[in-house]
Amino acid sequence: MLLVAVLGVGGTAGCTAAESVPPVPSSSAPTASPAPPPVPASAPGDLRVATVETREDGVGPGGTPVVRWSVDWELRWAAVPDAASYAVRYASAEGIPAGAAADETTAGTSLRVTAAAGTSSPQRQATERDAGLLLTSSQLLVSVGAVGADGSEGPATGWVPVGDVPADGRPVTTLPHEHAPGEHAH
């Protein structure tokens, strides 16, 4: 029963019984906490690589013709269900860092890296381009893993040599990328 204080004549307070008000029901049922966002279950697949080349003819010292050139290497992959972004890791020929944090993250399904660049004589440009790509592909590797909405990372691709472009556009992975699924992509 609810009691209400009523101010009487002369400012004295009195109590009177008010209508019976039903109590507010309390929820004794436990509330379910929301399910954690799913961790992506697979590594990015259908990997494709290509190069994008730029070339600018110019004049060097003493009026000699030169070519300023660069080769960007692009890696593309199919979207992974439940992925909010993708963690990108790089490794060098000196070793693959175990458990290293992602070097960068991207929301898209592609990555572009300048694999070789230089200024050459027109006669040497193709040779120096090929040598630059060969050096990069023997020294730099990349791996991509899908990241869930909570930052947990699913499986990653194997390590792909940057600069290497097989004729069919499908890169050959060199080593598996080993990290514990569910790791955070920092």
Q: Phi, psi (5° rounding) for residue 132? A: -65, -45
The answer to whether residue 156 sits within a structural domain is yes
The answer to whether residue 20 sits within a structural domain is no
Residue with tokens 């992974």: 80
**Position 54 confidence tier, pLDDT thresholds 50, 70, 90:** very high
Nearest to 173 by CA among 153, 132, 145: 145
Share of the chain above pLDDT 90, in %: 47
Whole-prediction pTM: 0.69
The answer to whether residue 51 sits within a structural domain is yes
* Domain carrying residue 67: 45-161
Residue with tokens 């966002």: 37
Structure confidence by residue, pLDDT tens digits, 137-184: 888 889 999 999 999 999 999 888 898 888 888 887 776 666 544 455
- CA–chain centroid gap for 117, Å, is 26
| Pairing relationship of beta strands 85-92 and 110-120 according to DSSP bridges | unpaired
Choose between 36 and 90: higher pLDDT: 90
Domain count for the chain, please give it.
Answer: 1
The answer to whether residue 139 sits within a structural domain is yes
Q: What is the pLDDT of residue 175?
A: 65
The answer to whether residue 178 sits within a structural domain is no
CA 2/CA 156 separation, integer angstroms: 64
Nearest to 176 by CA among 80, 89, 79, 51: 89
pLDDT of 22 strictly over 60? no
Residue with tokens 């990997």: 47
CA 65/CA 86 separation, integer angstroms: 43
| Pairing relationship of beta strands 13-17 and 85-92 according to DSSP bridges | unpaired
CATH number, domain at 114? 2.60.40
The answer to whether residue 7 sits within a structural domain is no
The answer to whether residue 9 sits within a structural domain is no
CA 47/CA 83 separation, integer angstroms: 16
The answer to whether residue 19 sits within a structural domain is no
Nearest to 149 by CA among 70, 43, 36, 54: 36
